[in-house]
Amino acid sequence: MRAAAGLSASALVAGLFLADRLTKALVLRHLRPVESVALAPFFHLTYVENTGAAFGMGPRRNGLFIAVAAALLAGLLYLRRRWPKDNAWLQYGALLVVAGALGNLYDRVAYGFVVDFLDFRVWPVFNLADSCVTVGACVLAWGLHKEDKKA
């Protein structure tokens, strides 16, 4: 049973990472930096080379972001092994954060920036990996809340 759970966890992370890579590869192939294509009045594909932190915020310190992301990934993977296996909120929240962090870490190492392209016109441009990190962090917070209620 544990091997199957490990395989499904790996498959989830790999699937999200590959979806992130595929969408970014399409953007890199078909759009020029800062080019924007309207798909709907409220949604554009806008190619941004993000050298800052999440959602384009923060200073341009790529080396620092790489080191922090790698340390956080290692810490999160360590904690995930220690968290209760029956708390799916913690387990899957961690996996979402790991998948997203790996996607953006890959970009920083390979290109020196993160490829962002999802543009809803009312929020900074972002990508699938950012979504995984954000949703995963919310799921993790809920899982931690559930653990606190048990104690």
> What letter represents residue 63's amino acid?
G
Task: Note the maximum CA span of the chain.
Answer: 52
Tokens of 40: 């709907």
Q: Is 116 a catalytic residue?
A: yes
Q: Is 20 a catalytic residue?
A: no
* Rounded Cα distance, 123 and 10, in Å: 31
**Cα torsion for 62, 50, 136, 24, to the nearest 10°?**
-110
Of the residues 20, 107, 116, 119, only one is catalytic, namely: 116
Of the residues 20, 107, 119, 130, only one is catalytic, namely: 130
Q: Which residues are catalytic?
A: 116, 130
